[in-house]
Structure 1
Amino acid sequence: FGRLDRDTTGLMLLGTDGGVGALLTDPESGVSKEYWVILSGVRPLKEDAAALIREGIELRDGSRCLPALLSDGPGPHPAADLGPSACGWPAYWVDKARGRPCVSVVLHEGLHHQVKRMLGACDGSVMELHREAIGPLRLSELQPPIPEGCARPPTEEELRVVLSLLPQARDAKARSPQVHARMQAKREKARTRTCPN
C-alpha cells in the first residue's frame, strides 16, 4: 500500500485489499509514516525548519503540506551516532559512514516527493531517504528481520497491528476538519480546472 520512489529504501506493506490500502495511505486517516533522511551539506536546513514543518510548510510550487514532525527520531538509526552534529542544530544525528547530518520526518500524507520537497523548502538537499515506519510498524524492529530488497508475509502480530489501525483510521478520517477542508479545496480546484466559467 502506498509507494516508494525508486531511490528510497524502507518499509512497504503489500496487499490486495484496496479498502485497507486506502485507509492506511489516506491523509485523513491519521496513520503516520516515518522517514530517516541523510542530508547533503554541513548545515543543510534553515534554523526554523522544525517549526515550519510542524506548522505545515508551504512548498516552492505553492502547495501546503499538512503539519508534520522534524526531529532526531525516537531512537538511533543503525548507521548513526546520536547527538548534535558539527552544524550545532540539536535535531540532527550524524551518519557514521558519511559524516552527514540526518533527521527524522514523520508525516500523515504522501504527496509526490513530499519529504524531498519539504526539506528543499527549508534549504535542504536529501542524499538518502529511508521509510522506517508505517504507524507502529518499525522496519528496524520487525522479527524476523527483513533484509533490504526482500519481502515476507506478515506475522500474526504484525497483521493484528495493521488491522487495529483500521478503526482508528476510519475515526480519524471522520473527524479531521483540517484535512476535510484541504481535501474540499482540492476538489474545488479540480472542478474549476475541468469546468471553466
Structure 2
Amino acid sequence: MTLILFNKPYDVLSQFTDRGAPATRTTLSDFIAVPGVYPAGRLDRDSEGLLLLTDDGRLQARIADPKFKLPKTYWVQVEGVPDDAALAALRDGVMLKDGPTRPAQVERIDPPALWPRTPPIRVRASIPDSWIALTIREGRNRQVRRMTAAVAHPTLRLVRWRVGEWTLDGIDSGAWVAA
C-alpha cells in the first residue's frame, strides 16, 4: 500500500489531468510521478495544504467518505476578527444553503509560520485579518469558506493542516512524503 502526503500549493488542481480547454492549468502530475495513486478527497484550486493520495481503495474511501467522520483541521485566515459569538456559531454548526453543518471545533490562533502564497492574498488596509483553526468532520463543497462567510468573516487563505492522524508538519509547499 502506498500513501503520499502532499502539500498542495495554491492554484493546483487536485487531479492528475486537466480536462479543461486549453489544458494549461497546473495539476498533481506536475509534482507527483508515482503510478497508481489517486487523491483521497479534494482540495479546491484556491486552497492549499494536505492532500492524501493512495493506491488503496479502502483507505481512500475511509479518508474521503463523510460517513467515517475523519476530522480535518484547517488553518483559515479570515477577514476581520471573529468574536465569541461567531466562534460559538461555528461550534454549534451554521446554516448553509444545503442545510446545517455539523458542529465544528474552532479557536483563534496566532498567525502560523507558513510558506508565502503566490499570489499573495489581497490585503485591505481598513480591514484587519486574523487566523482560526477549524476542525470539521464532513466535507461539503467549499464548506469551510461557506462557514466563515456565514459568520461574516470571509476566508482569505485556507490551508488544510491535518487529516485524521496525518499532518503537514515538515512538508514544504509543493513537496510530498511517503507515509
TM-score range, shorter chain: 0.5 to 0.7
| Residue of structure 2 in register with 1:58 after alignment | 95
Aligned partner of 2:69 in structure 1 is: 30
Equivalent residue, structure 1, for 2:140: 111
- Percent identity of equivalent pairs: 32
Aligned length: 128
1:25–1:109 Cα contact (<8 Å) kept: no
Conserved? CA contact 2:54–2:60, under 8 Å: yes
Answer yes or no: is the 8 Å Cα contact 2:91–2:105 preserved in 1. Answer: yes
3-state DSSP class of the match of 1:20?
helix
How far apart in 2 are the matches of 1:147 and 1:17? 25
Partner residue in 2 for 1:138: 167
Q: TM-score of the superposition, structure 1-length normalised?
A: 0.59
Aligned to 2:113: 78
Of residues 116, 123, 126 in structure 1, which corresponds to 2:155?
126
Task: Considering fraction of residues, name the structure with more helix.
Answer: 1
For structure 1, which runs of at least 5 residues remain unmatched after alignment? Answer: 80-98, 155-197
Q: Which runs of 5+ in 2 are unaligned?
A: 1-39, 115-127
Partner Cα distance (2:156, 2:75) in 1 = 11
- Match in the other structure for 2:172: 147
Higher strand share: 2
**TM-score, normalising length: structure 2:** 0.64
Could you list the structure 1 runs, at least 4 aligned residues long, displaced by more than 6 angstroms after superposition.
none
Residues 2/58 of structure 1: CA separation in 2 closer, same or farther (3 Å cut): same
